[in-house]
Amino acid sequence: MNFEVEHELHKRRLSKNVGLGIVLVTFVALIFGLTVVKVTDGNVSSAIAGASSNE
């Protein structure tokens, strides 16, 4: 079995991919959070508790 030393280019590429992944996950979480707030009219705690807004 040959285990070659990882080239410096691959290390840089991996760190860029990890950084981009973190940015994308943060963006998706932000959009999801904004959507939840908009759908529940800003009253997230009552939506979690299961109370309808018609009452």
> Per-residue pLDDT tens for 3-34?
777 788 888 899 999 999 999 999 999 999 88
User: Nearest-5° angle of CA 39, CA 42, CA 52?
Assistant: 65
Confidence of residue 1 (pLDDT cuts 50, 70, 90): low
The amino acid occupying position 5 is: V
Mean pLDDT of 26-52: 82
**Whole-number pLDDT of residue 31:** 95
Q: From the CB of residue 34, how many other CB atoms can be counted at a distance below 10 Å?
A: 10
Identify the residue whose tokens are 């981009």.
20
Answer yes or no: is pLDDT of 46 > 80: no
Burial class (CB in 10 A: 0-12, 13-18, 19+), 48: exposed
Answer yes or no: is pLDDT of 49 > 60: yes
